[in-house]
Amino acid sequence: MSEPKDTTSFFRKVVKFVANPTTEWAEIGLPADEARETEFAKSELKAMIERKRRNDFVRKREFDMLRKVRREGLSPEQLAALGGSSRLDDSEGRLLVAESGAKQDAGVKAKIDEIEQQMVGDGYGASPPRRGPDFYNAPTQPIPMGGNAPAPSSRMPLNGARAEEPLARPSPAPATPPAAAVMGAGLSPLSPLTLDSGAGDFAHPFAVEVSEVAHDPELDEAVIAFANADFEQCEQSLSDLTGQGGQRHAHAETWLVLFDLYRAIGQQHKFESLALDYAQQFGWSAPQWFSMPRMVAEAASEDRPARNSRIEGNVGWVCPDYLDADAVARLSSQSLQMPLPWVFDWSALKNMDAEAAAKLSELFRNWIRQKLDMRWLGGERLFAVLAEAAPTGVRDADPAYWQLRLDALRMTNRPDQFDEAAIDYCVTYEVSPPSWEPAQCEVRVSGSQSSTTSPPLSMVSDVSTSFIESRFNEDPTATVQVASVELSGQLVGDIGPTLKRLEGELGGSTIVNVSCSRLIRVDFIAAGDLLNWVLARRNENRSVVFVESHRLVALFFGAMGINEHARVKVRSV
């Protein structure tokens, strides 16, 4: 007698699969109890993986905190903060405060060893070599470097693998612009380097971790695109490198370059999204957000007199008579540092090409989602040109003109005219028109009766001088004169006359500190002028130091050869 056939036939399985497409094929023939057990097992496995990831993150945070305690010691105030941010219990905290000297170090080392052992047991990789007592008893303060001797072999190059030493991890940036880090030529690209604070003449007294960069071929495309104000191409290039499967996916320093890009172009939502991926990828806190365009705009607003004088005098952007894609790119770049309200003058516009219309429409849609304040002088001229470029019923006209017209009507909050234009669009192309959505920005359209003098993109502060104690003179009272100047905004085009004006203000200063904390971008022409200026100062036996530069500008300085003749200090995370 043949064995009884399976009660669940193939066609019955097909019917169940069609009725429940989310069910796995292998689970269709199972009884209901077994299917529920399988689903429960999967949910338990997911919960276990999530708990493990959360516990690993907490262990890494405790390990980083204990490393900091080992380097800097522990005060009662720090103990209170430590107790609120880690899982060390009160008894351990009181023990760390009560004991001193060797007992305190022994407790910290024991805790570090315990966490390291737990991390190894949870599958973090091979166990690192055991360090002897001499490692922990070594002095934590850096020692001076003699003469021009090279730095000790303490470089920790970041390759594709995750760095094991928590000391090389970036620390969260404070609310104020953080301390600078040194970078120059001669090292592997974006490789961390530990130097003593006395090795450099201009190092921050508490700076320990610094980054030095050299020419990095893999970042050339992104650096050149950023210098040319092609921010989309720069973002795409860096995202490909740091994304899943990218060549720099496990390279934390390349992620920091992308963070600096978002800071430079004011993209907070992209920055925060990247911060979540960064924390999940590397297991430590991401950099803190600040907007460089906002910093530049606030500084510019403090310098200008009254609010209304801006409307009567300077105009943020003047539209040319023929609007092309390059003009739209300049508008996008210039808007990064314009203080509110943005004042645009459209009165000279006569025609535009379809590519410019598409790019301007994309720019408008980006501004629609932001709380911006704008003034359009001669704004009706824009609507007239768009109506002439795409008349009703002419299907040969590029739809980009219609899209730009609808976006402009949304920006100016004209729902009635938007509905009329949408109906004409539907009649012309026989497709459904876009629906009305209110805009977050505020645009006021007025006639053009104002002066159209655009403010400069490049801003250079006046030179200020100070004196510091000389470290190379045997006389303890000897001082060195230091000149300080700030570069702000975007250095675009010929900046030779501006730099030449600074030469007369340097006086007898032997050190020139150039602050780049609010420097967004430098193009090729400006970088060439800056290189010539640095070479001239070097011939005068002056030392030029660029401080607080973000990484894309610093990498561009390296590509142009500026860091071979001047020191470039990169802003810490």
Residues with Cβ within 8 Å of 92's Cβ and at least 6 positions away in sequence, in order, are 107, 111
In whole angstroms, what is the distance from residue 343 CA to residue 457 CA?
15
Closest CA to 208 of 222, 194, 219, 218: 194
Query: Strand (E) positions, 147-201?
Result: 180-183, 191-194
Q: What is the pLDDT of residue 402?
A: 92
Contact 452, 345 (CB under 8 A): yes
- Which tokens hold the place of 286? 């991401």
pLDDT at position 63: 72
Q: Which residue has the tokens 């003009």?
A: 327
- Gap between the Cα atoms of 448 and 381, Å rounded: 10
Question: In Å, how far are 148, 151, 195, 467, 545 from 199, measured between CA atoms?
Answer: 9, 9, 7, 19, 15
DSSP string, 481-532: EEEEEEEEEEE-S--HHHHHHHHTT-TT-SEEEEEEEEEEEE-HHHHHHHHH
Per-residue model confidence (pLDDT) at position 41: 74
Cα–Cα distance, 84 to 62 (Å, whole number): 11
pTM summary value: 0.51
Q: How far is it, in rounded angstroms, from Cα 290 to Cα 85?
A: 24
Specify the pLDDT at position 549: 92
Q: Which of 100, 266, 211, 160 is nearest to 554 (CA)?
A: 211
Residue-level pLDDT at 484: 87
Print pLDDT tens along the chain (573 aa): 444 445 556 767 776 766 666 666 666 665 655 666 667 777 777 888 888 777 777 777 777 777 776 666 656 665 555 554 444 344 444 444 444 444 555 666 676 777 666 655 544 444 444 445 454 444 444 444 434 444 433 333 333 333 333 333 444 444 444 444 444 433 334 444 433 333 333 333 333 344 556 668 889 999 999 998 888 899 999 999 999 989 999 999 999 999 999 999 888 889 999 999 999 999 988 999 998 888 887 877 676 544 443 333 457 889 999 999 989 988 888 888 777 788 999 999 999 999 999 999 999 998 998 888 899 999 999 999 999 998 888 888 899 999 999 999 999 999 889 988 999 888 888 888 788 888 989 999 986 544 444 444 445 545 444 444 444 444 444 467 888 888 888 888 888 888 888 777 787 788 898 999 999 999 999 999 999 999 999 998 899 999 989 999 999 999 998 989 999 999 887
The pLDDT of residue 110 is 72
Which helix (H) or strand (E) segment holds residue 544: the answer is: strand 543-549
Residue 96 has a pLDDT of: 42
